[in-house]
Amino acid sequence: MAYVKNFFIVVGLFLVSQIGMTVFDVVKIISQEKGEANLSLFVSILLILLVIGNIWLLLFLGKKLGFFSIKFDFFTKKNVGIILGGFILARVIAIGGTLLLNTQGSQSTANDAAIQTLFTGENPLLIILLLGISAPIMEEIVFRGGIIGFWLEKFPLLAIALSSILFGLIHGPTNVVSFLIYALIGLILSVAYYKTQRLEVSISIHFLNNILGAIMIGFGLI
């Protein structure tokens, strides 16, 4: 029964993690229906505050459930090496996968294309917060902390596999290559977390992987 209960807790964590992005999507649709291409500054500020609150809530829940607490002692030489190695490997997979998609007639994954369309022209701070900061923190709390460190902590191989597969699926793959890009990046993040038992490590890799793209979209560089 404990596994069933913890499963629903993880599902609840996932739903909580989606609040900020879901509200952004809804507000964006409403704005477009009114003929406004981008959100107003006032709405953007409200969304920024909502996303900050959403991050705080998930951090609080992770700490309450006992699998996450921010301590800067994770910043060791070994962990820095894992973070840099994981980031480089993730970029190799992302770039290699994208090149493979190019040979199939796609410029990028459907997820990346949708993000660029949805966020282009919006407030840079909101974009960087949602894509570069919120996503790494909240996805790692759910997929690494929630699944590997909480729900299936006694079955690490199953937890790592399931975490990686689900991570690939939630990014909306439209073909095998796009699924593998996200699932393999998820595997890197999962192994990094399992080996160090520090969510800060997988969050750091995820942050480095996301932040440059978020900055480029935010300031119209792509």
Q: pLDDT digit of tens for each residue in the chain (222 aa)?
A: 788 999 999 999 999 999 999 999 999 999 988 888 889 999 999 999 999 999 999 999 999 998 888 788 888 999 999 999 999 999 999 999 999 999 888 888 888 888 888 898 899 999 999 999 999 999 999 999 999 999 999 999 999 999 999 999 999 899 999 999 999 999 999 999 999 999 999 999 999 999 999 999 988 876
Tabulate helix, strand, coil % of the chain (nearest 5): 80, 0, 20
CA distances for 187 relative to 124, 138, 182, angstroms: 30, 17, 9
Q: CA nearest 16: which of 49, 44, 55?
A: 55
pTM for the full model?
A: 0.94
Segments forming the whole domain that contains residue 180: 2-218
Structural domain total, the chain: 1
List the structure tokens of 96.
Answer: 């290699």
